[in-house]
Structure 1
Amino acid sequence: MSARVNLLAPEVLANPYPVFAELRRDAPICQVEPGGLWAVSRYADIMNVLKNPQLFSSEGMARSMEPAWLGYNPVARSMLVMDPPRHGRARSLISRAFTPTTIAQLEPFLRATAERLVDELLARRDADFLQSLALPLPAAAIGHLMGLDASLYSRFKHWSDHVAVVSAISATDIEKQQQVQRSLQEMEGYLKEVLEHRRREPGDDLVSGLLTARVDGEALSDAELMSFLFLLLVAGLETTVNLLGNGALLLADRPDLLERLRAEPELIPSFIEEVLRYESPAQAGFRLTTAEAEVGGVKLPKYSVLILLLGSACRDEQYVPDAERFVLGRKDPANLPFGHGIHFCLGAPLARLEARVTLEALLPRIRSLSRTPEAPRWHPSLQIRGLMSLPVRVEPA
């Protein structure tokens, strides 16, 4: 490829997959914009990087999430950007909130919430799918786990959207920088209030549990608590909202898929796995080389920042055959969209449960799902792939 690809160009955001295919074919390890990041686009190369945290540090993501114009960002201090052994300490704490028992106990609450939201959607018929269903359900779930006020879900999503685009904001876009700074300040202020309230009045929730947790006899610091809460709130929303939104877009554009799922609801889990692969909400991760390293035959200097194009790897024939086609009932594993190794997403079972419960509540009750003819607008993010809105019309069954 003669010129550097700009991953944030409007045409790439609209449909990155032809560009990814070209990268895999012609330049699997190359520099891209913004910032001259080293893009890794093939499945095998990405897996090699993910399996070697000593040489490819997760701190690469910290650098991308804490640019000079922003300064302190709690997510950039979270376990998402930690290497061993610190990462193991942090993960052991959070894993207590995502045990199979805890997730299973959430299902009745999620199902009741999904049924109510579907009732409201069918009463309106015309609505934004994200605001009506894809957002309020995971917001209710994370609010239930953390003991937060779920009625504030629109604020939660506004904050998490801004956290998710930090690495994509230009150094000259002062207006957007100020918006993100305000959002992080508001989010931090709100979560400080939550922590103070739980210290006074502990409850049966994740925040109260973190306040009483001890590692080697020591309580978590305020900075550690804040980074945990930031990460949980952002990750708890972004993955499921975008999984449901991307899935609904496919169902609107492919009525045959909707018809088949209505006829064979046992295929809903397979549909979810294929959405995760085909239109993955998690599009990229970052790593930092701790020494000179070779990836895919290309030598990279120490302290090179890599962007691992997970969305490309998921469409690589090395990962699954016939990878550019959406195949319902595919038997191949789809774990890569949730990461790999020590950073495999702890919330993956919850995201899958939320998506399954939502579709099981929605699909039997609708005959069709259609959208406006305008081109979808995607969030300008390097790390996530999700719609900014999805106006739809639903026809009851």
Structure 2
Amino acid sequence: MSRLNLFSPDVRENPYPFYAELRRSSPVCQVDPNGMWVVTRHDDVVAALKNTQVFSSAGLRVASEPPHLQRHNPLSDSLILADPPRHSQLRNLIGRAFTATTVGSLEPAMRSSAAQLADEIVQRRTVDFIPDFAHRAQASVLVQLLGLDSSLQDKFQRWTTDILSIGAIAPDDLTRLHEVRETIDEMERYMKDLLASRRRQLENDLLSDLLRSRVNDGELTEKDLMGFLFLLFVAGLETAVTLMTHIASIFAAFPAWMDRLRAEPALIPQFIEEVLRFEPPVHATMRLTLTETELAGVRLPAHAVVVLLVGSALRDETKFQDPDSFHPERRAQANLAFGHGAHFCLGAPLARAQARVVIGELLTRCRRFRLRAERLAWNVSLNTRCPVALPIEVTPA
């Protein structure tokens, strides 16, 4: 029997039947590409996420900085690629600035941007939701969060795409490697200038708060700050855009929910939780085993690349009744969509707040979304699962 290939087109289009079969027959097994190990059941994914002494995030720095990149990638210095105790130190310092107050202060700007973009897509009627709404909405949040020059927004998607592509670039693809190195150079130059500017004059933004942040006489170094900025641009942009895209796709697939939420806005938080469960923005996360270990009765060798399939765990029939159906009234909290344990996402409250604001502004202006494609093309990524484009026709409210 041939191994499942996570990147095959039929798996990318609808991976959930394949995941269900793995949960039944081979919950921990090897798959392609490259014979990676996958973990598919909810409890096993949680167990691996909790066990940072065996399942290491730091060990995966090679994915963000392979030898053929031939330069340092600041993303490798971010807290997402650190293990305790270093991860705990970084998280404590960053968490002091990334607070509920920060989220609350951003909400008026989020609402204004979402309202303007919703007006635009209603006026145009036929749009690609990803570049025309989702990307622009999240780029505006980054501008507000960090006090950036808004004219840079058009660069954000290229920066994100290039950094996320590093692990998939072949060593002999010299053109693409050169492009990515130039992107890293460009991002580093901009962020170094930004940090120098804030050190000269602190502002009322997250970056200034991070520069003020101290815990037990510790402070964030230049390398720490650069790693966090790269992470915020890459993970923050990609996951938020993916979440908004899934919301729009689900509105198109289940149009009655647009009417229901418009009539009962108190259901919006439950709806968001079900979107996070049904199509999590982080579809999978990766770890490296530091020692030989056993999970679900399967022996994993030391230094094995392990893919924790969050998208499968959140469809686990032992945890969720009728898991392949979209039921916002199930009241399930999909916290696993934002990680678990030490690596639970600091940005989860911001992502939920933005989703709530976006839904509210879309429902105010849009009565229906109709998908204008018989089939969607999907990205090729281990970490996220998102359409490459989402062409929709918007019916005004």
> Shared topology, TM-score over 0.5?
yes
Match of residue 209 from structure 1: 209
Paired with 1:33 and 1:173, the residues of 2 have a C-alpha distance of 21
Paired with 1:34 and 1:177, the residues of 2 have a C-alpha distance of 21
**Equivalence map 1:91-106=2 (5 Å):** 91-106=91-106
Q: Deviations over 1:86-135 (max 9, x none)?
A: 11110012112321222122222211221122122222222221222212
SS in structure 1 opposite 2:329? coil
Match of residue 353 from structure 1: 353
Match of residue 48 from structure 2: 49
Tell me the amino acid that sits aligned with residue 350 of structure 1.
L
Paired with 1:179 and 1:376, the residues of 2 have a C-alpha distance of 28
Tell me the amino acid that sits aligned with residue 161 of structure 1.
T
Tell me the amino acid that sits aligned with residue 92 of structure 2.
S
Unaligned runs of 5+ in 2: none
Tell me the amino acid that sits aligned with residue 274 of structure 1.
E
TM-score (norm 1): 0.94
Paired with 1:218 and 1:101, the residues of 2 have a C-alpha distance of 23
CA contact 2:42–2:316 (8 Å) conserved in 1: yes
67-76 or 240-249, which deviates more:
67-76
SS in structure 2 opposite 1:267? helix
Paired with 1:68 and 1:178, the residues of 2 have a C-alpha distance of 14
The verdict on how the C-alpha distance between 1:176 and 1:9 changes in structure 2, with shifts beyond 3 A counting, is farther
**Equivalence map 1:174-253=2 (5 Å):** 174-217=174-217, 219-253=219-253
Match of residue 282 from structure 1: 282
Deviation at residue 193 of structure 1 after TM alignment: 2.2
Match of residue 121 from structure 1: 121
Unaligned runs of 5+ in 1: none
Q: Deviations over 1:267-287 (max 9, x none)?
A: 221111111111111011111
Paired with 2:323 and 2:172, the residues of 1 have a C-alpha distance of 38
Tell me the amino acid that sits aligned with residue 90 of structure 2.
A
Paired with 1:339 and 1:29, the residues of 2 have a C-alpha distance of 19
Paired with 2:110 and 2:10, the residues of 1 have a C-alpha distance of 37
CA contact 1:60–1:286 (8 Å) conserved in 2: no
The verdict on how the C-alpha distance between 1:33 and 1:168 changes in structure 2, with shifts beyond 3 A counting, is farther
Deviation at residue 174 of structure 1 after TM alignment: 4.4
The verdict on how the C-alpha distance between 1:181 and 1:171 changes in structure 2, with shifts beyond 3 A counting, is same
CA contact 2:97–2:210 (8 Å) conserved in 1: no
CA contact 1:165–1:380 (8 Å) conserved in 2: no
Match of residue 160 from structure 2: 160
Paired with 2:18 and 2:67, the residues of 1 have a C-alpha distance of 30
The verdict on how the C-alpha distance between 1:33 and 1:110 changes in structure 2, with shifts beyond 3 A counting, is same
CA contact 2:287–2:306 (8 Å) conserved in 1: yes
CA contact 1:43–1:314 (8 Å) conserved in 2: yes
179-188 or 107-116, which deviates more:
179-188
Match of residue 336 from structure 2: 336
CA contact 2:102–2:206 (8 Å) conserved in 1: no
Tell me the amino acid that sits aligned with residue 370 of structure 2.
S
> Pairwise CA RMSD of aligned residues?
1.9
50-59 or 192-201, which deviates more:
192-201
98-107 or 333-342, which deviates more:
98-107
The verdict on how the C-alpha distance between 1:198 and 1:276 changes in structure 2, with shifts beyond 3 A counting, is same
Tell me the amino acid that sits aligned with residue 55 of structure 1.
V
TM-score (norm 2): 0.94
The verdict on how the C-alpha distance between 1:75 and 1:50 changes in structure 2, with shifts beyond 3 A counting, is same
The verdict on how the C-alpha distance between 1:69 and 1:375 changes in structure 2, with shifts beyond 3 A counting, is farther
Match of residue 363 from structure 2: 363
Tell me the amino acid that sits aligned with residue 235 of structure 2.
A
Match of residue 316 from structure 1: 316
The verdict on how the C-alpha distance between 1:299 and 1:233 changes in structure 2, with shifts beyond 3 A counting, is same
CA contact 1:110–1:354 (8 Å) conserved in 2: yes
Match of residue 31 from structure 2: 32
CA contact 1:34–1:168 (8 Å) conserved in 2: no
- Equivalences, count: 396
CA contact 1:272–1:355 (8 Å) conserved in 2: yes
SS in structure 1 opposite 2:269? helix
CA contact 1:293–1:302 (8 Å) conserved in 2: yes
CA contact 1:251–1:369 (8 Å) conserved in 2: yes
Deviation at residue 387 of structure 1 after TM alignment: 2.4
Deviation at residue 219 of structure 1 after TM alignment: 4.4
Paired with 1:144 and 1:51, the residues of 2 have a C-alpha distance of 33
Q: Deviations over 1:25-61 (max 9, x none)?
A: 2221111222221111111111111111112111243
Paired with 2:96 and 2:213, the residues of 1 have a C-alpha distance of 10
SS in structure 2 opposite 1:329? helix
Tell me the amino acid that sits aligned with residue 56 of structure 1.
F
18-27 or 78-87, which deviates more:
18-27
Paired with 1:319 and 1:153, the residues of 2 have a C-alpha distance of 40
CA contact 2:58–2:81 (8 Å) conserved in 1: yes
Paired with 1:387 and 1:254, the residues of 2 have a C-alpha distance of 17
Identity across the alignment (%): 47
Paired with 2:379 and 2:369, the residues of 1 have a C-alpha distance of 22
